[in-house]
Structure 1
Amino acid sequence: MKTNSTTITLPNDSKNVKQKMINFLLLGVSILLLTSCSSNDDNDIIVEQFLDGLELETEIIENREEALQTTILNAGGSGEVYGAEGTILYFPVNSFEDQNGNPVTGAVTIELIEIYDKAKMLLTRMPTNGKRPNGDVETLVSGGEFYINAKQNGEQLQLVNDFMLFAPADEFDEDMRIFNGQNNNCDGDEMQCDIVWEEDEQGGLEPIQREGPNGQGVSGYGGFISNFGWTNLDRWYNFEGPKTIAYADVPQGFDNTNSNVYISYDGEPTALALLDIYNPETGLFSEHYGLLPIGLEVHFIFVSVQDDQYVYAIQGATIGENHTEVIGTTTTGTEAELVALINDLP
């Protein structure tokens, strides 16, 4: 990422009429313009720049890949994996088999991603959107998100036994449960999937006190995991009172192909909802079922990547009935600057 920072203002169409792009390619002549044209009262022509969506998608995948940690274990014996942020995985003896059901021996590569804060959730597009059994999508408060996998010589392995996951925590919340990541919008590669979390009715968590890798005492959540892929420790966000739907009106030229909009819940360090519904007719982002609490203090976070830099806006708000948040002014800066701002949110 580039290191300079500037502030820009992109025009926001209050009627949500999105620009239409016309790309003229003249043979033998350089590409002239990528434009969106509209007329004002004086019939002036407004020219808008085409905004790319591939950079944002690429950045999300790269952030996931950069977060991936690998550890070598002996498949024939038991072993532990220690994550950089305190996660511990314990695999019993003979935990793995190949795709044909044959026991695996020798060196096995364990892959781990651990996510404990909002900034990393946003950079990897791993929000805390949870799906109820009836299909409603609501916000979760996370105790840690994890990608866990095992391979041998690049070949995918299968689990024979459940393994133990330990996630550090200062206090134990008895409402925390195990959630599994359900894949959307991908061809089976979980490193590139959009994830929504669904509760594992069979999985439970217990308070654990144990010795860490350096011999120090650590405490947190412990639970048995029966699948590879994405796992989340969560509780449902509880709020008494009326609820509503929330919308976000983003700057002109941006839509769901080149930007994301999140809602950060104030006072909850690990509650980050993605507005994953986009209406191309109105140009508005929204959430699913009108389940956002009225009176909730939040921050809307708009983010895109353009010309190898983050384009973002962070706006505080109190949710009102049928709330519409208009994102007008954006800032262009580095990933580190964006992360620092998110980490400073209440």
Structure 2
Amino acid sequence: MKKQNYFTSLFFAGLVAMGSVSCDDNNDDKDTTPVVIKPGANDKISTVHQDQVAAMKQTFTLDAAGGAIEGEEGTIVSFYANSFFKSNGDPVTGDVTIELVEIYRKSQMLLTNMTTQGIDASGNIATLVSGGEFFVNAKQGDEQLVLNGTFQIEAPADKTGGIDQGMKPFMGAEQCDEGICKNVWRQQDRDMKIGESTYNIFQNQFGWTNIDRWYNDPRPKTTLFVDVPEGYDNTNCSVYLSYDGEPTALASFDRYDSETGLFTEHYGQIPIGLEVHFIMVSVIDEQWYYAIKSATIGADHVETFTELQPITEAALITLIDELP
């Protein structure tokens, strides 16, 4: 039933979109060829993703003596007494502001560009399956605080399909390629307790934390390429790979060749025969545009997008979260 809802939503979104980008029905020529919308110089997709992170940020007031806060999605972050210091080494007293971002759903990963790719033991970028991504920070006024010791993140496992004993803690790290920067995950050698219904991480630094396991598929691997419409590149659109059957696995095509106009992933780690959905999004004049294609991965797979359709952010969220 979930797949049926997805394709029903996609059908009606497509009907609305075609009406939005086709020529006027009153035109004497009755030309119904879709208008190809191209991004302008100011349509920077990185700015859109940053704004999405900012919009998801929750703030809480906590006494520096310690305590806990609970996010809208049920994440609990607990701090011990004397956890906060100023940059000069002075202990903090009084109220502090705790910042929290919770990401559990595939749509949230896409909107914020916080995808599930990590750097493995060989230095390659490989796909992860997430049990939740979290940004935690502390300030007093405008001053950034320093963590003393550890804090605890308690994440409800039912948000990502239930307990998975293979989950490990990861820390976010920024990686830049030709001026385009994104987050990648590095596994940490830290304590993590898996309870009956929660994951519990004891983190020793502010920033991004992810609960993950490595995606494992024994089939032969290949490299993927995505051809996007003329006028689109890595500055004004984002391209993703959604793994069917994995509700919290979303990879990004974060390499772009300006000579060929192709997006690709890093190390040819995509299993041949894998069933997936390719996703392309852009924001033009504050309007979301998208395209989604289902596919079964073949050797040296090339997926081609020819046009994007307009969609509301709410409808896009629904489509992404209803992917199989």
TM-score over 0.5 for the pair: yes
Partner residue, 1:322: 300
**C-alpha distance in structure 2 between counterparts of 1:224 and 1:136, whole Å:** 26
Quick check: 1:70 aligned with 2:59?
yes
What letter matches 1:270 in structure 2?
A: T
Quick check: 1:298 aligned with 2:273?
no
Deviation by residue 1:251-272 (Cα, 9 ceiling, x = unmatched):
1110111111000000000000
Structure 1 residues 344 and 319: CA distance shift in structure 2, 3 A: same
**C-alpha distance in structure 1 between counterparts of 2:165 and 2:321, whole Å:** 26
What letter matches 1:124 in structure 2?
A: T
| Superposition deviation, residue 286 in structure 1 | 0.4
CA RMSD for the aligned pairs? Answer: 2.2
| Superposition deviation, residue 9 in structure 1 | 8.0
Quick check: 1:234 aligned with 2:223?
no
**C-alpha distance in structure 1 between counterparts of 2:39 and 2:256, whole Å:** 19
**C-alpha distance in structure 1 between counterparts of 2:234 and 2:45, whole Å:** 11
Partner residue, 2:191: 204
**C-alpha distance in structure 2 between counterparts of 1:53 and 1:285, whole Å:** 21
Structure 1 residues 49 and 246: CA distance shift in structure 2, 3 A: closer
What letter matches 1:61 in structure 2?
A: Q
Deviation by residue 1:76-119 (Cα, 9 ceiling, x = unmatched):
2x200101001001101110100011111000000000000110
Structure 1 residues 97 and 241: CA distance shift in structure 2, 3 A: same
Structure 2 counterparts to residues 235-250 of structure 1, below 5 A = 235-250=213-228
Partner residue, 1:106: 94
Which runs of 4 or more aligned residues in structure 1 lie more than 4 Å from their structure 2 counterparts after TM superposition?
A: 47-50
Looking at CA atoms only, which structure, 1 or 2, has the larger radius of gyration? 1
Quick check: 1:56 aligned with 2:34?
no
Q: Does the aligned pair in 1 maintain the 2:44–2:235 contact within 8 Å?
A: no
Give the 3-state SS of the residue equivalent to 2:251 in structure 1: strand
What letter matches 1:184 in structure 2?
A: Q
Q: Percent identity?
A: 50
Partner residue, 1:6: 17
Give the 3-state SS of the residue equivalent to 2:308 in structure 1: strand
| Superposition deviation, residue 59 in structure 1 | 1.9
| Superposition deviation, residue 281 in structure 1 | 1.1
Structure 2 counterparts to residues 210-225 of structure 1, below 5 A = 219-225=197-203
**C-alpha distance in structure 2 between counterparts of 1:130 and 1:54, whole Å:** 28
Quick check: 1:160 aligned with 2:148?
yes
What letter matches 2:192 in structure 1?
A: L
Q: Does the aligned pair in 2 maintain the 1:61–1:124 contact within 8 Å?
A: yes
Q: TM-score, normalised by structure 1?
A: 0.80
Quick check: 1:83 aligned with 2:71?
yes
Deviation by residue 1:298-335 (Cα, 9 ceiling, x = unmatched):
00000000122111101100000000001123211211
Partner residue, 1:335: 313
| Superposition deviation, residue 135 in structure 1 | 1.6
Give the 3-state SS of the residue equivalent to 1:223 in structure 2: strand
Q: Does the aligned pair in 1 maintain the 2:17–2:310 contact within 8 Å?
A: yes
Partner residue, 1:183: 174
| Superposition deviation, residue 203 in structure 1 | 1.4
| Superposition deviation, residue 52 in structure 1 | 3.6
Aligned length, in residue pairs: 292
Q: Does the aligned pair in 2 maintain the 1:9–1:329 contact within 8 Å?
A: no
Q: Does the aligned pair in 1 maintain the 2:127–2:249 contact within 8 Å?
A: yes
What letter matches 2:93 in structure 1?
A: T
Structure 1 residues 53 and 205: CA distance shift in structure 2, 3 A: farther
What letter matches 1:249 in structure 2?
A: D
Q: TM-score, normalised by structure 2?
A: 0.85
**C-alpha distance in structure 1 between counterparts of 2:323 and 2:167, whole Å:** 23
**C-alpha distance in structure 2 between counterparts of 1:111 and 1:164, whole Å:** 14
What letter matches 1:206 in structure 2?
A: K
**C-alpha distance in structure 1 between counterparts of 2:41 and 2:276, whole Å:** 28
What letter matches 1:277 in structure 2?
A: R
Deviation by residue 1:207-235 (Cα, 9 ceiling, x = unmatched):
235xxxxxxxxx21012000100110000
Structure 1 residues 148 and 322: CA distance shift in structure 2, 3 A: same
Unaligned runs of 5+ in 1: 11-46, 187-191, 210-218
| Superposition deviation, residue 341 in structure 1 | 0.7
| Superposition deviation, residue 5 in structure 1 | 4.5
Q: Does the aligned pair in 2 maintain the 1:265–1:271 contact within 8 Å?
A: yes
What letter matches 1:230 in structure 2?
A: W
What letter matches 1:178 in structure 2?
A: P
